[in-house]
A = this chain, B = another copy of it.
Amino acid sequence: MYREKLKELGVTLPEAPGKGGLYAPTKTFGDKKLMYVSGCGCNIPGEESFGKLGKEYTTEQGQKWARNAMMNVLAVLERDLGSLDRICSFEKITVFVASADEFYEQPQVANGATKLLQEVFGDEIGLPTRSAVGMNVLPGNIAVEIEALVSYQ
């Protein structure tokens, strides 16, 4: 279902990114129908970010980075759940936006990520609660990092 939707939208998910350290990419918990996805960066093959919003990147570019970070989250979810169709709801995401000290448009940047969710999963399932915050620096000098909590069946 969602695979078809992605194709329809012309979105090709990257391979799920390798782990950048000692941790679990996903973990299920609670009543075993919740899954946390470790923070995913916004680099995908051929598109690598090096810098911050308000310095190296504009808000529009940041939206692309946020979208790419969410594509990595989706790739991890598809790998670890077997299918995106098992997702019941995106419950919460945190969008970490590497930002110059005077860059104030973190929500607009984060919309790049949630717009993808909206397009693929629709409002009710796709739109999560969210915090979008400015960070002085992120791992490897990436522009955006996103972690996610989803419910699934």
Chain A residues within 8 Å of B, Cβ to Cβ: 20-27, 29-31, 33-34, 36-39, 89, 91-92, 94, 96, 98-108, 110-111, 114-115, 118, 127-141, 145, 147, 149, 151
B29 touching A137, Cβ below 8 Å: no
- Given the known interface contacts A24-B127, A36-B92, the answer about A134 and B137 at a Cβ–Cβ threshold of 8 Å is yes
CA gap between A135 and B103 in the complex, in Å: 12
A128 touching B91, Cβ below 8 Å: no
How often does this chain occur in the complex, in copies?
3
B139 touching A22, Cβ below 8 Å: no
CA gap between A46 and B61 in the complex, in Å: 34
A138 touching B128, Cβ below 8 Å: no
CA gap between A31 and B30 in the complex, in Å: 7
Which residue from chain B places its CB closest to the CB of A31 in the assembled complex? Answer: B31
B110 touching A21, Cβ below 8 Å: yes
- Given the known interface contacts A94-B131, A104-B137, A133-B135, the answer about A22 and B151 at a Cβ–Cβ threshold of 8 Å is no
CB distance from A22 to the nearest CB of B (A): 4
Q: Which residues of B contact A108 (CB under 8 A)?
A: 21
The listed residue with most B CB atoms (<10 A of its CB), out of A25, A29, A33, is A29
